[in-house]
Amino acid sequence: KQEVTQIPAALSVPEGENLVLNCSFTDSAIYNLQWFRQDPGKGLTSLLLIQSSQREQTSGRLNASLDKSSGRSTLYIAASQPGDSATYLCAVRRTGSSNTGKLIFGQGTTLQVKP
């Protein structure tokens, strides 16, 4: 059974800091891994998608890495801003036709960036 864990559960940093959010998964047979952002009471916004054959993806101040063999992904946020305050979720899609459309989510890391 695939389990996804995110550490830490909550994080508070001063503006301008670089930070790393961690995501681990128990089964390395994944199709891809996706990082999302969720603002309070809102839906999910996709940040980065990493295919199983890729090692990292970058978008602006965000960089996500994937190490399938160790079952880990990290989301690096450079020069954090108050507008980055949100809950960050990672989700994996397992391989196999029985897992299409099904993402398995971690519990999220709630980030607060203080001005």
Give the interface with another protein as residue ranges (CB under 8 A).
Answer: 31-32, 34, 36, 41-46, 49, 51, 89, 91, 97-108
Residue written as token pair 């940093």:
13
Looking at the Cβ atoms of 18 and 107, the one nearer to another protein is: 107
Q: Give the shortest CB-113-to-another protein separation in angstroms.
A: 23
Closest to another protein by CB, 80 vs 87, is: 87
When the beta carbons of 77 and 90 are compared against another protein, the nearer one is 90
Is the Cβ–Cβ distance between 112 and 85 less than 8 Å? yes
Dihedral sign computed on CA atoms, order 25, 31, 33, 39: negative
Nearest approach, Cβ of 18 to another protein (angstroms)?
25
The Cα 89–Cα 34 span in angstroms is 8
Least distance from another protein to the Cβ atom of residue 49, Å: 4
* C-alpha triplet 39, 24, 111: angle, nearest 5°: 25
Work out the number of other CB atoms within 10 angstroms of the CB of residue 109: 21
The distance of closest approach from Cβ of residue 43 to another protein in the complex, given in angstroms and rounded to an integer, is 4
Between 13 and 95, CB nearer to another protein: 95
